[in-house]
Amino acid sequence: MCGAKAGGPDASTIKPGETTIQGQVTRDGEPVTGYVRLLDSTGEFTAEVPTSATGQFRFYAAEGTWTVRALVPGGTADRTVVVAEKGALAEVAIAV
Amino acid sequence: MSRSDVLVDADWVEANLDDPNIAIVEVDEDTTAYEKNHIKNAIRIDWTQDLQDPVRRDFIDQAGFEKLLSEKGIANDTLVVLYGGNNNWFASYAYWYFKLYGHENVKLLDGGRKKWELDARELVDEVPVRPATEYKAKPQNTAIRAFRDDVVAAIGSQNLVDVRSPDEFSGKLLAPAHLPQEQSQRPGHVPSARNIPWSKNANDDGTFKSDEELKELYAEEQVDLAKDTIAYCRIGERSALTWFVLHELLGVENVKNYDGSWTEYGSLVGVPIELGANK
């Protein structure tokens, strides 16, 4: 999309104090739309969001180890994310 | 009852979406999703505007349901096929609600909107017009709806299935992580409830797990399905999905959905509450 930046949503729009996991889903370097689910350290479903038109997503979570799973037409991909401390921002790029 | 009596797959919908005797209905948590696009010939039911009493916390009454379905162009013999986002949470809620008012001919699109999108199937923005009908509803079938006193009476005797996430069950959160955390209730769960999150019923693409997998899940969690069961969550939509699994897919008879759920129970004065993880 014209003018869209690579990576997750604009970090200035994060609610103050929130522990955030965000990023972008791409295929061959281009944004792809679909769904992203957040699984906790035991693999249990925690939340799921549709991506934006530019493949971006954001979760407000907590510190700890998480799995972010992208579901898009024709593929899925997992990334492990470690959020070191409360209030931190973890950026994750997912290529499917 | 078999799966084909209550579920259709995306191929079936694609092959039948021009049939005027079928009403495809989208029901979403995000009530604006329909405006972006939807399955061809699908109409929308807005779970907040259309299905709730505008003043009291309760459902629209029998006459209100008749008026709604008449205006939507759904007749008593119309096959209603429901689908939606969030792995069919609100489509399951609408399914249970249609059954509550006695509409027998209703099915869910397995996987809902997500599976349809992941299959890269066609979505359109044209809004269809269905001619009005004169729909007649039945009185509410409260054999499938639990009220707060039923829940209090069920503590320690019936199955109480809390389908929220483990953090909501234990009392760490009051709502799913993508929603604001209301403060009017006390956190926790109904004593003796088992925590079996709704997500354990579904595959990643939103389709339901097989009957064998589902039976194994409830057996592993020590839910004796010979006993009466009440399912609840926060507002009754995720537990409608579990009600669908138990009552419609597995054919368990005495299962009720408690639509008051935690937003009611957690606000009641004097009722027992338990904190902590599933035992």
Whether chain A has a CB inside 8 Å of the CB on B257: the answer is: no
Q: Per-residue pLDDT for A63 more than 70?
A: yes
Predicted structure pTM score:
0.92
Query: In B, residues 58-117, which contact A (CB 8 Å cutoff)?
Result: 85-87, 114, 117
Rounded CA separation B50/B98 (Å): 13
Q: Which of B104, B122, B140 is the last residue of a domain?
A: B140
**Same-domain pairing of B134 and B149:** no
Q: What angle do CA B255, B48, B98 make, to 5 degrees?
A: 40
Let me know if residue B91 belongs to a domain.
yes
**Same-domain pairing of B188 and B255:** yes
Q: Per-residue pLDDT for B273 more than 70?
A: yes
**pLDDT one-digit tens code per residue, B126-144:** 999 999 999 999 999 999 9
B147 assigned to active site: no
DSSP run (H or E) holding B181 = none
Provide the pLDDT confidence category of residue B181 given band limits of 50, 70 and 90. low
Subunit contact A59:B177, Cβ cutoff 8 A:
yes
pLDDT at residue B144 in the model: 98
Residue B110 belongs to a domain with what CATH number?
Answer: 3.40.250.10
ipTM of the prediction: 0.83
Q: Are B242 and B261 in contact (CB under 8 A)?
A: no
A55: phi > 0 → left, psi -120 to 50 → alpha, else beta; which? left
**pLDDT one-digit tens code per residue, B23-32:** 999 999 888 8
Name which of B30, B117, B207 to mutate to probe chain A: the one with the most chain A Cβ atoms within 10 A of its Cβ.
B117
Candidate list B160, B233, B235, B245, residue with the active-site label: B233
Provide the pLDDT confidence category of residue A96 given band limits of 50, 70 and 90. very high
Let me know if residue B277 belongs to a domain.
no
- Single-letter amino acid code for the residue at B109: L
Selecting from A47, A61, A71 the residue whose C-beta is nearest the C-beta of B205 gives: A71
- In chain A, which residue's Cα lies nearest the Cα of B86? A48
> What mean pLDDT do residues A27-51 have?
91
Let me know if residue B102 belongs to a domain.
yes
Q: Which of B100, B115, B140 is the last residue of a domain?
A: B140
Provide the pLDDT confidence category of residue B177 given band limits of 50, 70 and 90. low
Subunit contact B199:A45, Cβ cutoff 8 A:
yes
- Single-letter amino acid code for the residue at A63: E
pLDDT at residue B179 in the model: 65
Rounded CA separation B62/B139 (Å): 6
> What mean pLDDT do residues B84-112 have?
97
Residue A30 belongs to a domain with what CATH number?
Answer: 2.60.40.10
**Same-domain pairing of B51 and B153:** no
Let me know if residue B270 belongs to a domain.
no
Let me know if residue A83 belongs to a domain.
yes
| Cα dist from A71 to A49, A91, B121, B207, B274, whole Å | 10, 18, 15, 14, 36
Subunit contact A45:B178, Cβ cutoff 8 A:
no
**Same-domain pairing of B131 and B150:** no
Question: How many structural domains are present in chain B?
Answer: 2
Question: How many structural domains are present in chain A?
Answer: 1
What is the distance in angstroms between the CA of the first residue and the CA of the last residue of chain A? 19
Q: What angle do CA B263, B197, A85 make, to 5 degrees?
A: 85
Rounded CA separation B45/B24 (Å): 10
Provide the pLDDT confidence category of residue A16 given band limits of 50, 70 and 90. confident
**pLDDT one-digit tens code per residue, B221-252:** 999 999 999 999 999 999 999 999 999 999 99
Q: Are B93 and B236 in contact (CB under 8 A)?
A: yes
Subunit contact B120:A73, Cβ cutoff 8 A:
yes
Let me know if residue B52 belongs to a domain.
yes
**pLDDT one-digit tens code per residue, B4-21:** 999 999 999 999 999 999
> What mean pLDDT do residues B137-159 have?
98
pLDDT at residue B185 in the model: 84
> What mean pLDDT do residues A11-25 have?
88
Helix ranges restricted to H, chain B: 3-6, 10-16, 33-36, 62-72, 89-100, 112-118, 148-154, 166-170, 211-220, 238-243, 261-265
* Domain assignment of residue B23, given as a range: 3-140
Q: Which of B80, B113, B140 is the last residue of a domain?
A: B140
